[in-house]
Amino acid sequence: MATSPITPDRPLRRDAERNRQAILAAARDAFAEDGLSVTLDEIARRAGVGVGTVYRRFPDKEQLIDALFEDEIRGFVALAEDCLGAEDSWDGLMRFVEQACEVHACDRGFKEVALSGVHGLERVSRARELMVPVVTRLVHRAQADGKLRADVVPTDLPLIQLMLGALSECTRDVDPDAWRRYLGIVMDGLRAHREAPTPLAHPGLDVVQVQDAMRAWRPAAR
């Protein structure tokens, strides 16, 4: 028994590694389109492999999520740090919230990982925690400049994201950019001073669109 029969980190066989990549790619797409609730069966179907293969590579969905989203979250943190460097503190904050909404609007999986707190293992949670200090500094900087109303606190931002995310979830099929309109309204509410309303980036929906959006709204289950 000089060498154990299975070395834990022996590289995968070539075909197996190819499948692993296919699974990751399929999962990324599926999660982005349909959110984290897609089944591993569906991911297998998209990747063109059997369910068994998926389960061998990723013992459960959480590990697949963890592997996929750690990088994405870190990338997003970097993006937030970039907003800290904007010359105008309000623009930086605004850009941050807008980009967050953008990502949430086109990647449901990311949104769920970022907002929900229940998904992901250590790696993702640790990455998520990196957000806190950056957001705090974004808020305080804009307040120090007198641009952001003094009575908001950093923890307001995730909740505002949550509101806009819920909206964009409903309007995604009706008018995918509708959230920009409501982001405009909320941001106007966040300004410290403002004589006139800032023009809204997006037109209002008509009655039929609102009806369809409402139909898309699903109450939290159970």
Partner DNA sequence: ACAGAAGTGGAGGACGTGCCTCCACTTTGT
Partner DNA sequence: ACAAAGTGGAGGCACGTCCTCCACTTCTGT
Which residues make up the interface to its own copies (CB under 8 A)?
Answer: 34-37, 108, 111-112, 115-118, 132, 149-153, 155-156, 158-160, 162-167, 169-171, 178, 181-182, 184-197, 199-200, 204-207, 209-211, 213-215, 217-222
> Is 48 a binder of DNA (CB under 7 A)?
yes
> Is 57 a binder of DNA (CB under 7 A)?
yes
Residues 1, 2, 3, 6: which binds DNA (CB under 7 A)?
6
* Integer Cα distance of 30 and 37 in angstroms: 9
* Integer Cα distance of 105 and 145 in angstroms: 30
Tell me which residue has tokens 């931002």: 157
Residue 9 binding target from DNA, its own copies, none, CB below 5 to 8 Å by type: none
Find all residues with CB under 8 Å of 158, minimum gap 6, and list them.
115, 135
**Distance linking the first and last C-alpha atoms of the chain:** 54
202, 177 Cβ separation under 8 angstroms: yes
Looking at the DSSP bridge assignments, the partners of residue 2 are none
Residue 51 binding target from its own copies, DNA, none, CB below 5 to 8 Å by type: DNA
Nearer to DNA, 47 or 148 (CB): 47
Q: Which of 116, 156, 110 is nearest to 136 (CA)?
A: 156
> Is 56 a binder of DNA (CB under 7 A)?
yes
The nearest distance, CB 165 to its own copies, in angstroms, is: 8
- Residues near DNA (CB under 7 A): 5-6, 10, 12-16, 19, 37, 39-41, 48-53, 55-57, 59-61, 222
